[in-house]
Amino acid sequence: DAKTTQPPSMDCAEGRAANLPCNHSTISGNEYVYWYRQIHSQGPQYIIHGLKNNETNEMASLIITEDRKSSTLILPHATLRDTAVYYCIVVNYGGSQGNLIFGKGTKLSVKP
Amino acid sequence: DGGITQSPKYLFRKEGQNVTLSCEQNLNHDAMYWYRQDPGQGLRLIYYSQIVNDFQKGDIAEGYSVSREKKESFPLTVTSAQKNPTAFYLCASSAGLTNNQPQHFGDGTRLSIL
């Protein structure tokens, strides 16, 4: 079962920032928070990941709360091509299979 | 550009036939994975490999086989023993099997039964 909770859908106006929340209240100390997105009929695309510090790359920023129980993915200037299902997942391989457990994600619709 | 190439994009299988899905990566990654995605569902791990000449079963390995003879290649064979093979198959790779190494995915192969 997924260890994260996300809203099922969100809308965002083109050119505005998209802020996608994720709750992971049972996260443990060595588990990372990852974000992927999937556009219909394509493979998941890696966006960003972090442990406890905020992270930024060319695609997005990841803000993780101090208690690590929630995080927010920020797309600073959303475009129509950012319309996709966004998945927040908690990763802890811990000698196991390397299985990524995707939940239902948030369907982000960017509107003109 | 570095990446993961899956082929073919679409594949059709006849009853009783084995088919092989190709996955090639030029990212110099040690670890590779095969997942299956059914409509509206999450990913389920079929097989994974941490290093050349070694691979392990995932959650749903029955009816599938793999090989890892080269670092850059991890083909998946869907055998006739897999009774419900219609699905979207995704290959991924990562630098290693550690929490801080993201998996990167190919664009998938969609398999259907004739």
pLDDT 10s digits, B91-105: 999 998 888 899 999
pLDDT of residue A67: 95
Contact A49 B102 (CB under 8 A): yes
pLDDT of residue A22: 97
In this prediction, residues A36-52 reach a mean pLDDT of: 94
DSSP category for residue A30: T
Sheet holding B4-7, edge to edge: B4-7, B19-25, B76-78, B64-66
pLDDT 10s digits, B57-102: 998 999 999 999 999 999 999 999 888 999 999 999 999 888 889 9
Contact (CB, 8 A) for B59 and B44: yes
pLDDT 10s digits, B8-49: 999 998 888 999 999 999 999 999 999 999 988 888 999 999
pLDDT of residue B1: 60
Find the residue in B nearest to A99 (Cα).
Answer: B45
Q: Which of A106, A93, A94, A90 shows the shortest CA–CA distance to A1?
A: A90
pLDDT of residue B11: 94
Contact B104 A46 (CB under 8 A): yes
Residue A88's DSSP bridge partners are A35
Residue A1 has pLDDT above 60, yes or no: no
Residue B51 has pLDDT above 80, yes or no: yes
Find the residue in B nearest to A46 (Cα).
Answer: B104
Shortest Cα–Cα distance, B60 to chain A (Å): 12
pLDDT of residue B79: 94
Residue A97 has pLDDT above 70, yes or no: no
CB neighbours of A58 closer than 8 A, spacing ≥ 6?
none
The CA distance from B29 to B51, in Å, is: 9
In this prediction, residues A22-43 reach a mean pLDDT of: 92
C-alpha A61: how far from its chain's center? 10
pLDDT of residue A103: 84
Residue A45 has pLDDT above 90, yes or no: yes
pLDDT of residue A94: 65
State the average pLDDT for chain A.
92
Shortest Cα–Cα distance, B42 to chain A (Å): 5
